[in-house]
Amino acid sequence: MQEKILHKAVELFLNFGFKSVTMDDIATEMGISKKTIYTHFSTKTKLVEAAALYIFETISTGIGCISAKKLNVIEETFEIKNFAMKHLNNERSSPQYQLNKYYPKIAAVLKNKQFEVMQECVVDNLNRGIETEVYRENIPVSFISRIYFVGITGIKDNDLFPTEEFPILELMENYLEYHLRAIVTEKGLKTLNKFINKTPEDK
């Protein structure tokens, strides 16, 4: 039952937001009593924490599987983006922003975990890009891997990038192009242009 509650909570949180969904909402959706939920998760904060970590682990595992394929580094970057967006329901409810605003302690723990995973993934991507001459050989890998993390988390700030003005899918596409154009070689640019020129349905 605990796992079922967690899965339903994840679904609702991603659809409507960590703040908006109540324990009553989850109980109603599952056809169980709120007391049953509290038997497994003593507070909503505990449930939010479990849900956030579950989402993180799911995405981290997927990123690891994609990285293991050793795709062309530009293709890998877009595939990871597509995977993450799919599992975050295209971030319709701005989960990261809501965590930061309403559950800052959970968000801080999660940020550290995200940084560790992304550092490993992005540094590997950058080094392979240099080796395959897709990225410029003189790029500062440690700096770029960190500035990439700052950017990818920063664009999820709804105060800076309100979704009505910056739709999340378009925002992500623009950020990836911005990031990659700064580091690709002429060879890499040809590959990047193939992805940029695809229709939304093909991406």
pLDDT in tens, 157-196: 889 999 899 998 899 999 999 999 999 999 999 999 998 8
In-domain check, residue 46: no
Q: What is the domain range of residue 181?
A: 56-196
* Residue % of the chain over a pLDDT of 90: 81
Predicted confidence band of residue 201 (pLDDT cuts 50, 70, 90): very low
In-domain check, residue 118: yes
State the Cα–Cα distance between residues 201 and 97, nearest whole angstrom. 27
In-domain check, residue 17: no
In-domain check, residue 151: yes
One-letter amino acid for residue 28 of the chain: T
Domains identified in the chain, total number: 1
- Which letter does DSSP use for residue 91 in this model? G
CA neighbours closer than 13 Å in the CB half-sphere of residue 140: 6
In-domain check, residue 5: no
- Within 8 A by CB and 6+ apart from 107, the residues are 96, 99, 100
In-domain check, residue 50: no
User: In Å, how far are 55, 80, 90, 120, 146 from 86, measured between CA atoms?
Assistant: 12, 10, 6, 22, 24
Burial (0-12, 13-18, 19+ Cβ within 10 Å), 126: buried
Predicted confidence band of residue 199 (pLDDT cuts 50, 70, 90): very low
Higher pLDDT, 90 or 126: 126
CATH of residue 117: 1.10.357
Give pLDDT, residue 91. 63
CB atoms under 10 Å from CB of 111, counted, come to 16
In-domain check, residue 2: no
User: In Å, how far are 3, 21, 65, 78 from 40, measured between CA atoms?
Assistant: 9, 17, 31, 38
Predicted confidence band of residue 203 (pLDDT cuts 50, 70, 90): very low
* Mean pLDDT for all residues in the chain: 92
pLDDT tens, position by position, 96-134: 888 999 999 999 999 999 999 999 999 999 999 999 999
- Which letter does DSSP use for residue 147 in this model? H
In-domain check, residue 23: no
Average pLDDT of the segment spanning 131-140: 98
User: In Å, how far are 65, 103, 180, 196 from 193, measured between CA atoms?
Assistant: 25, 39, 11, 5
- pLDDT at residue 202 is higher than 60: no
